[in-house]
Every structure is written in C-alpha cells, then in structure tokens.
Amino acid sequence: MARTILEVRDLEAWSDDRKILDRINLNVENKKVLSIIGPRGSGKSSLLRCINRLFEERTGNRVAGDVLYEGTSIYAESRDILKLRRKFSMVFAEPTTFNHLSIFENIALGLRLERVESGAVIGEAVEKALLTVGLWDDVKSKLHSSPQRLGRGEKQLLCFARSLVLRPKVILMDEATSTVGLQKTMIFEQLIREVSAKIPVIFTTSSRKQAARISDRTAFILNGELIEVGKTSDLFMNPRDHRTEDYLTGRFG
C-alpha cells in the first residue's frame, strides 16, 4: 500500500468574503500521480496554491484547516515558507521564465538560493535537469542566452527542469500543458509518469482524457467542494456521485 506523504484536512479558503474551498479532505500518496479535475473556477488552482502557501499572500485571502507534510503542519508558525516552496515545486499554466537571466541561471537560481557554491555541482545539476526534460540537446549551445526566444513549449519544459533541480519532495503542476501544443503535451505526460516513479505529482487539468491517461488517482472538485476521489479507473468507470458522472460525460463543464 502506497505511503501517504501529504494530508489535506478540512481545508477551507476565502477570497475576501467569497468561499473558494469548502472542507477539502484529501491524501496524496508517495510515488503516484494525483490529478485534480473540475470545470474552470472550481478551485483546483487555489488548492495547489494553498498547498505551497501562495494563496494567502494575496490581500483578502485566508485559509482554515490544515495541510500535513509527513505528519507536520505546513501552517506551523515555525515553518520556513521559502524552504517549503523548494520542497513543493510548482509549475504554472503560463511559463514563468526569468528573461533577464540566462537559460543556465534560470535553472541554477534555486541552487544559488540554497547557497550551493560549487560551480561544478551547479553545472552538473543543471545539465541533469535539462537532460531529464529532454531539452539539453536543444539548448546546450545557448545556455548563456536569454530564454526569451524559446518556444512556449520549450519555456514550459525549462520551468519543469527548474522545478526538478532542487530534488523536491512534491511536484505541483497547475494546468501545466494547457498552453503548449500536442507534441509537447505528450512529452510532458511521459515526463510526469517518469518523475512520479520517485516523487508524487499533483496535476490539475481541465482535460478529462488527460487525467485518465496519466494519473493513478483522480479527485473531482466542483464549486470548491471535493465531490469524490479515488483510483482513476474506478472514478471514471464507476463514479459514486451523479455530479461526477455528469461532468465526466460532458453534461456540463
């Protein structure tokens, strides 16, 4: 039986007076892919942002409940939020490259923030990350150029490489393939399966077919409420809630 690495307990979130998440209870298993599906505005992205504590940074946002990482609250006062985010790397829907930095420095940034001083160690880690996402051959001759001229799919793969370089404990991916083409989407899906053999991946997607292809478990969220969660094949073939069935069959969303 897979070990639980992350527990979401009665998590609630508000933006000003509007409730975004309503008592979410969810376990994330180690070395598995958990897809979170639901229509636009259902709370998928907000859930990920709560897990890496980005949600509360916006004025007017607040959170109740808890998220436990290996049994310890991520909301504990003693928790170093920056270190937490290095453990919970996040890839957003839009590529977030730093165009004032070179391709090399985009990936090395996290290592430098961790005070890694050895140029050899940094160089090896950057190369390994780029090899992992299949970008090394394309960018090895322009490592010291800005990523500005890379295609959207290449930029997103660069962000994925940056998320891997610190060897995170959890990968959070928020609609990470929604703005890239079919070929890069296929590459991403293969990478997600490969990465999840070592660390858990939480992946939000509006594509039911994508969730069915890549995930071990799937959670369905609607209007901030977790309707059901379970093994992907079970949820898709035999949903327990009629709202899940309606969503999966395209009656709404």
Say whether 113 sits in a helix, a strand or coil.
Answer: helix
Per-residue pLDDT of the chain (253 residues; tens, 9 = 90+): 678 999 999 999 999 999 999 999 999 999 999 999 999 999 999 999 999 999 999 999 999 999 999 999 999 988 889 889 889 999 999 999 999 999 999 999 989 988 888 889 999 999 999 999 999 999 999 999 999 999 999 999 999 999 999 899 999 999 999 988 888 899 999 999 999 999 999 999 999 999 999 999 999 999 999 999 999 999 999 999 999 999 999 888 7
Q: Which run of H or of E encompasses 25?
A: strand 18-29
Nearest-angstrom CA–CA distance, 107 and 115: 14
Q: Minimal CA–CA distance to 14: which of 66, 50, 68?
A: 50
Predicted pLDDT of residue 74:
95
How deeply is 245 buried, as exposed, middle or buried, from its count of CB atoms within 10 A (0-12, 13-18, 19+)?
A: middle
pLDDT at 113: 85
Beta bridge partners of 9: 66
Contact 166, 114 (CB under 8 A): yes
User: What's the CA gap between 26 and 8, in Å, rounded?
Assistant: 5
Q: Compute the distance between CA of residue 157 and CA of residue 76 in angstroms, rounded to an integer.
A: 33
Between CA 45 and CA 67 the distance in angstroms is 16
The fold adopted by the segment(s) 4-96+169-248 is: Rossmann fold (3.40.50)
Which DSSP category does 108 fall into? H
The partner residues of 36 in beta bridges, in order of sequence, read: 204, 219
pLDDT value at residue 115: 85
DSSP class of residue 55? G
How far apart CA 73 and CA 115 sit, in angstroms, is 26
What is the pTM assigned to this prediction?
A: 0.92
Instruction: Check residue 141 and report its DSSP letter.
Output: G
Residue 87, both tokens: 């453990």
User: What does the pLDDT read at residue 1?
Assistant: 62
User: What residues are paired with 26 via a beta bridge?
Assistant: 8
Domain spans, the chain: 4-96+169-248
Q: Which residues of 80-112 are buried (b: 16+ CB within 10 A; e: fewer)?
A: eeeebbbebbbbbbebebeeeebbbbbbbebbe
